[in-house]
Structure 1
């Protein structure tokens, strides 16, 4: 079956379709929030360093997700000007004055972009130190020197990152979009989300793969997931489309992976199949436990996840940017919260929506600007990155009744990622890069 480019369900929509970072409708006050404030209730901006141009050709990159580890922020880059922006490293010793100290993973493969980075302390028989894994996605699969997958770097000294290895999905794919690094004793593993790999390789490689990186110079694929092993999917899955029991034809691909703090359970965002939960204590033989599902009127679009309440609550964000679609509710993407005490049977507790969710203009309404993007949790506070909505903080003390308690919306907001580091909230704006925020009410964590 040939799938036209326009049906792909998330970031890679082709030249004639909307892509993240294009700021579509950002000049229309009715479509997005332009009147930003740097000091809203409970949150204030303490730093927004100018992201210096580091490319030899003098062109600027746009920015992707971010991560923080041991007082350093790692900011991935997006697709502007052909990608190859790598990961930008900032010393946060003085969070009000972040200092850019290094760039890495920017010249490994031409025509690629490095959106996602995870950094962990690792101690294996082969490597001891701080390991960074960086997603690599191809902008031009036809380029002879381009590859997709993820890079591994030693960032024990963040000022001098050292390349260790590379894991490739398959040349015919777009590469790895999101990933997660976790440890299990003296073992390090990466869970890779490589959207559309099932389709591009006709099942020879999969969208969700588990890779042993205990020896970062020689990553080894341990296992990959075939959606057709699920009873509700079976042969109806053709590499992208799935005949859902609700009678709709839905998209299935792996957008994101996440592992809890114990390294035991994985949460896989499989778009219209929901968030899948796996026991990965034996990473060569994971056990599927259960998944979230959607009402027939809801677009799926399970994009990312986070865990709260000691692993008993699942946060699921849904990136819906086409709000008007036959057979579905009229809505941009919003957040759903589940009780997962029984991981074989996630139970919906609540849905968190904002003023953006149903603010749908009659024309020019296809935009990422108003959908939720990524979630992070610290204590009883959920932090959501929200593109034009900025960063929204939500009190989930009662997970059945989530309540917005703060919002940070910079001018021309295009917030991609959020991360909580010590007493600071970090954000990444696609257009302008790193933001450092601080709570000005310590009682709201």
Structure 2
């Protein structure tokens, strides 16, 4: 934590380290503080006090009035090791590794008093955050739990933001995102409001899913050790498998085109299935000679298949049952991903990284410009003359390829997540990570990207419970007093309920929303406050 000319560092078994950073070119250690058997994992500062989060189940108070001579003071005992601390006014919020979040009173900053704790789940708290009267507790097993803490002794759980486990693929169609998880399942997200993506439903499947495509209300899934399935997705609340071909192979990427599914089967090559009858998918072609098939794309009667050790094989699939192998585009090392747009093919490899290829002549492709980026390439996507790709370690890169021989780097950004899949639609970037769910970014070409923030002055929190039956709890926060309306709309945009219309004071408000009598389905709860508008989706069963 930086305060004025000093930086305060949580130094593990050595406690607190204080640096003088008044001259950034000559940073100097000025003091330290440690207590026997302590292990400082994090810290927070409020006024003249530092609060050290200790793995030995306590918060150590240190007086830093004189940064050159920190003095230890009181110690707050907590039930579990303290992981994070956040100070806000006369309150301190403490992340407890196995017990959610503690709340402490800092009215006397030298002797904090523990008021209460919130334990949402039996997982492990990774981080905490507080906005006004709303607390967010990130649990590494069960997602983000949201609480109204306006009454600290009786916190009210508002909602839980989903955690799907390590994500493996995603498909975006209109305002819907279909995401697949390594631990099994497909999750349906409504992204009509980018600031509040809403999980509408989840579908259980028979084995882990590594690939997904969507066409005409059907989902095509590639399973690890479980073949491929065709699934009805017309109603997210009742999505179900309707067709299965299970040969026990490990499938990754899957692409639907004109009644056929094209699938990468890793060590078992490249396979094509007829899915003209969704209830009975069946193989029509199997190529097991490819050494390690990582990815596949299909465009204009040709299939482009990544062979991990050799390069990209181009097939003529005018007759999917009898593909004709045209050529191999060789690469030096680890061919991971391929995407095709017109006569351009983009390939991700470990070396050289990104490679653009002219495929006007499918039998004689010509390599053009390249760009080195990262060591663990994962995915890429086209959008006109722009191409975006992600690396598991380095993050994301966006290139202008209007000059194919010399791609121009628009930006590179470390996203601080293990990026696994990426999609670029207009100026919006969607990134699925193995460890942090889905992030949505707005492209700012001159400066890079910014993560799309939540609504500002009028904050409508997720309803609880969701899905629901009968009535739900609705909480919203206003920064200024004013006239508001809260109404419920069906999927056709018709108003079906009005909850509130009139003047409200600033602050956080909670009300019950009665949905009795409405048919099952997805509804939008809309808050209008002056020029601000906030929307939350609710599923009524």
Q: Please, what TM-score do these two structures have when normalized by structure 2?
A: 0.51
- C-alpha contact (below 8 Å) 2:383/2:426 kept by paired residues: no
- C-alpha contact (below 8 Å) 1:132/1:155 kept by paired residues: yes
- C-alpha contact (below 8 Å) 2:210/2:251 kept by paired residues: no
Distance 1:393 1:59 in 2: 27
C-alpha spacing 1:59/1:120, structure 2 compared with 1 (3 Å)? closer
1:245-256 to 2 correspondence within 5 Å? 252-256=291-295
Establish whether residue 222 from structure 1 lines up as the match of residue 321 from structure 2.
no
- C-alpha contact (below 8 Å) 2:285/2:322 kept by paired residues: yes
Establish whether residue 335 from structure 1 lines up as the match of residue 335 from structure 2.
no
1:24 is aligned to: none
Distance 2:176 2:366 in 1: 37
Distance 2:447 2:436 in 1: 30
Give the deviation of 1:193 after TM superposition.
1.1
1:165 is aligned to: 243
Establish whether residue 317 from structure 1 lines up as the match of residue 322 from structure 2.
no
1:259 is aligned to: 298
C-alpha spacing 1:97/1:59, structure 2 compared with 1 (3 Å)? closer
Give the deviation of 1:408 after TM superposition.
3.7
The 3-state SS of whatever aligns with 1:410 is coil
Q: Post-superposition, which runs of at least 4 consecutive aligned residues in structure 1 deviate over 6 A?
A: 49-52
1:393 is aligned to: 398
C-alpha spacing 1:342/1:93, structure 2 compared with 1 (3 Å)? same
Give the deviation of 1:155 after TM superposition.
1.3
Instruction: Work out the number of aligned pairs and report it.
Output: 294
Establish whether residue 177 from structure 1 lines up as the match of residue 272 from structure 2.
no
Task: Compute the RMSD of aligned alpha carbons.
Answer: 2.7
| Unaligned 5+ runs, structure 2 | 1-137, 144-161, 449-541
Match of 1:192 among 247, 255, 263: 263
1:380 is aligned to: 385
- C-alpha contact (below 8 Å) 2:387/2:398 kept by paired residues: yes
C-alpha spacing 1:395/1:60, structure 2 compared with 1 (3 Å)? closer
Distance 2:311 2:428 in 1: 31
Establish whether residue 424 from structure 1 lines up as the match of residue 443 from structure 2.
no
- C-alpha contact (below 8 Å) 1:62/1:433 kept by paired residues: yes
Establish whether residue 280 from structure 1 lines up as the match of residue 314 from structure 2.
no
- C-alpha contact (below 8 Å) 2:430/2:440 kept by paired residues: yes
- Structure with a larger share of its residues in strand: 2
Distance 1:422 1:214 in 2: 32
- C-alpha contact (below 8 Å) 1:116/1:177 kept by paired residues: yes
| Unaligned 5+ runs, structure 1 | 1-48, 122-129, 139-147, 198-206, 228-239, 241-251, 321-330, 357-369
The 3-state SS of whatever aligns with 1:417 is strand
C-alpha spacing 1:380/1:305, structure 2 compared with 1 (3 Å)? same
Structure number with larger C-alpha Rg:
2
Match of 2:437 among 429, 433, 437: 433
Select the structure with the greater relative contact order (CA < 8 A; seq sep ≥ 6): 1
1:344 is aligned to: 363
